[in-house]
Amino acid sequence: MTLHLVLAESALELVPESMQGHPAARAHARRLGRPASETLLDVSWHYAAMRDAPDAHRRGRPDLVHQAVLAAVATPLYRNGLVRLYVHTLRDVVVRFGGGVRVPKSYHRFEGLFAKLLREGRAGGEEALLEAGGGTIPSLLREIGPSERVGLSRAGLPVACRRMAAGLGEEACVVVGGFQRGGFSDSTAGALDRICSISPRPLETHLVVGRLLYDIEAELYGPEMDGGAPA
* Residue ranges in contact with a second copy by CB under 8 A: 31, 42, 44, 63-64, 67, 70-71, 74-76, 105-109, 160-163, 198-201, 203-204, 206-207, 210-211, 214, 218, 223-231
CB of 166 vs a second copy, minimal distance in Å: 10
Of 138, 147, 178, nearest to 11 by C-alpha is 178
Query: Closer to a second copy at the Cβ: 8 or 64?
Result: 64
Query: Closer to a second copy at the Cβ: 129 or 207?
Result: 207
CB of 12 vs a second copy, minimal distance in Å: 14
CB of 116 vs a second copy, minimal distance in Å: 17
CB of 119 vs a second copy, minimal distance in Å: 22
Contacts of 134 (CB under 8 A, 6+ apart): 92, 93, 94
Cβ–Cβ under 8 Å, residues 72 and 3: no
Query: Closer to a second copy at the Cβ: 94 or 123?
Result: 123
CB of 200 vs a second copy, minimal distance in Å: 5
Query: Closer to a second copy at the Cβ: 76 or 177?
Result: 76
Task: List 130's β-bridge partners, or say none.
Answer: 97, 123
Q: In whole angstroms, give the CA distance from residue 115 to residue 130.
A: 12
CA–CA distances in Å: residue 198 to residues 36, 77, 156: 39, 20, 8
Query: Closer to a second copy at the Cβ: 137 or 175?
Result: 175
Radius of gyration of the chain from Cα atoms?
18
CB of 110 vs a second copy, minimal distance in Å: 9
| Segment (H or E) for 113 | helix 107-120
H helices of 35-106, where? 43-50, 62-73, 76-79
Of 61, 7, 8, nearest to 213 by C-alpha is 7
Query: Closer to a second copy at the Cβ: 190 or 227?
Result: 227
